[in-house]
A and B are shown apart, each in its own frame.
Chain A
Amino acid sequence: MRFKILAVISLVFSFLLVYRLSNNIQRKIPVLVDSFGNDESLANTIYKDRNIIIEGVVEKISFLNERSTIFVKTEGFTSSILCEMGEDHKGQVKQLKKNQQVVVEGTCKGFLGNVILLNCLLLKMNIDE
């Protein structure tokens, strides 16, 4: 009986892990930006309304329109990702500095000059940068 319970729990955890991984897409910024640049329609079918995880450096921090927004880019690459942070993350964003390494997760809404991620959260901020 105990074995069966453990087996069910393991199965549930495995399912949740696979579900989370399959719903989050991790992409390098140049790959993501190039996808939209090459074929915006195709990129929308892949990324729109999906959770995307990106890693890069902070290019710009903005508090315009009473929102916290960071622009994240890869060094040596001109295009950046616009990440509007979730409402609870203003404090974290205030601690960020330009060129700081970050990992951000957010919902991809499409491309308008930048790839736009909304409702973002900071998964990692390297304060040694």
Chain B
Amino acid sequence: MNKLITALLFLFTSFTKTEFKGYLLTTNQGHVSFFSHTAVENIQAVNNQVLSVIDLSKNEIAISILMNAFVFEKALMQEHFSTSYMETDLYPKATFEGEILGLNLSAKQAQTRLIKGKLTIRNITKDVTVKARIEKKNGVYVFEGDLDILISDFKIKIPPILSPNIAKNINAKFKFEYYPDEK
């Protein structure tokens, strides 16, 4: 699986898409957002520059997220997220590597599949299973879904005074569109 992450990184720096044609589809404009709901306030952030690759020959997927690229409604939220909670200087990226179970490449309609893999945030890796809706339209594979992330799983420290403002369980949504011609 590590080979897939390596390929993901090299793909955008060294190789041309034709070398992987037919097997690897990539996007560097994947969409990931998360939402924290509490009685005190709702916090939402969006990142539209998520890098991902799927290997259709092995049904594998790899995702890399630049944590500093999440955009919040308020600048102060962004500052707290980057410097205090996620410590993006120390842990700039989150990654996911997984296997798409039972992917049917010849399906003409949308299919819902489980993706089983490892999510790494702040250098802490957890096994997760994500349900994704997968559809192929005009040669473009679209992966959509969401997952709940327990902030305690990744040792994200919230100061007691701000604890009522941030949900213990964060819902993250994703949408990746893998274009055959994507660089």
Contacts and interface: CB of A to CB of B under 8 A. Distances in A.
Interface residues of B, number: 24
Number of chain A interface residues as a range: 20 to 34
B183 A110 contact: no
A69 B30 CA distance: 12
A121 to B, nearest CB: 16
Nearest to B67: A110
Contacts, number: 61
Given A37-B13, A118-B69, A84 B49 contact: yes
A118 B29 CA distance: 13
Interface of B: 8-9, 11-13, 28-29, 31, 48-51, 64-66, 68-69, 71, 89, 92-93, 175, 177, 183
Interface of A: 37, 44, 48-49, 60, 62, 64-65, 67, 69, 71, 79-80, 82, 84, 109-114, 116, 118
Given A64-B48, A110-B92, 8 more contacts: A64-B177, A82-B28, A112-B51, A113-B8, A113-B13, A114-B12, A114-B28, A118-B49
